[in-house]
Amino acid sequence: MANPFDLSGKVALVTGANTGIGQGIAVALAEAGADVAVAGRTPPDETQAMVEALGRRFLPIAADFTSIEPLPRLIEETVAGLGRVDILVNNAGTIRRADSVDFTEADWDAVMDVNLKSVFFLCQAFARHVIGRGGKGKIINIASMLSFQGGIRVPSYTASKGGVAGITKLLANEWAAKGINVNAIAPGYVETNNTAALRADAQRSADILARIPAGRWSVPSDMGGPAVFLASDASDYVHGTILPVDGGWLAR
């Protein structure tokens, strides 16, 4: 019987995968058989070594997601370098922390531009390509617990991740019949640069851990299996879902 999770012959474009969750997902997709392009502002040397050690091809693409200008080029460069693009993982994201009474317009715009505006317009560029060539495409956006909950001192991040969940469902409605699956993974609390400030605060860190039924913080590789599922034929009838991968956090 064919393996429905096999990604052999597929090409994935993952944003912000030099580190953290993006790296965990890029490596998992490569383990499942995909070749991988990584777009971001820091050279993804470590991820490249990990993917190539698995015998997969790797393409680094320089891009800064504070502007939507580079986005159509990312699709073109992936196709030029690796022959095709089947899977898009919108992972790059940023966060700014401050009390809402003090929160600045600059911190609002910086987060919304990377976490929401660029996500939408890269989905658009990918969909134009897939619809133009025909066949299937898979989009995986990275949402958050703050797609469901309010959070504290992260107003633009919460707004952006609520927005990611919203556009994931909207785009699924528009593109499911066109051969594109649009879904999201909502990670729980993952040990990455994004959560360094939380983990440095002993009280916050302990409070968070106490609420996680799995009894531990997540590591980036925890997102790999769910990403392979949403990138593969196994999820062909899954559209517009926001999949929590949270050690049970939301069930608590």
- Active-site annotation, residues: 157
CB 18, min distance to ligand NAP, A: 5
- φ/ψ (deg, to 5) at 174: -80, -35
Q: Which amino acid is at 47?
A: T
Closer to ligand NAP by Cβ: residue 16 or 155: 16
Q: Which amino acid is at 82?
A: L
Closer to ligand NAP by Cβ: residue 32 or 227: 227
Closer to ligand NAP by Cβ: residue 33 or 118: 118
First to last CA, the chain: 38
Closer to ligand NAP by Cβ: residue 33 or 47: 47
Q: Which amino acid is at 182?
A: V
Closer to ligand NAP by Cβ: residue 33 or 162: 162
Closest Cα to residue 10, out of 87, 63, 78? 87
Give the pairing of strands 87-90 and 137-142.
Answer: parallel
CB 166, min distance to ligand NAP, A: 15
Q: Residues near 122 by Cβ (< 8 Å), separated by ≥ 6?
A: 15, 71, 74, 88, 90
- Is residue 75 within 8 A of residue 1, CB to CB? The reply is no
- Is residue 62 within 8 A of residue 18, CB to CB? The reply is no
- Is residue 52 within 8 A of residue 44, CB to CB? The reply is no
Q: How far apart are CA 184 and CA 89, in angstroms?
A: 9
Residues in touch with ligand NAP (CB under 6 A)? 16, 18-22, 40-42, 64-66, 91-94, 114, 142, 144, 187, 189-190, 192-195
Q: Which amino acid is at 221?
A: S
CB 2, min distance to ligand NAP, A: 31
CB 10, min distance to ligand NAP, A: 22
Angle between helices 155-175 and 118-133 (to 10 degrees): 20
CB 186, min distance to ligand NAP, A: 7
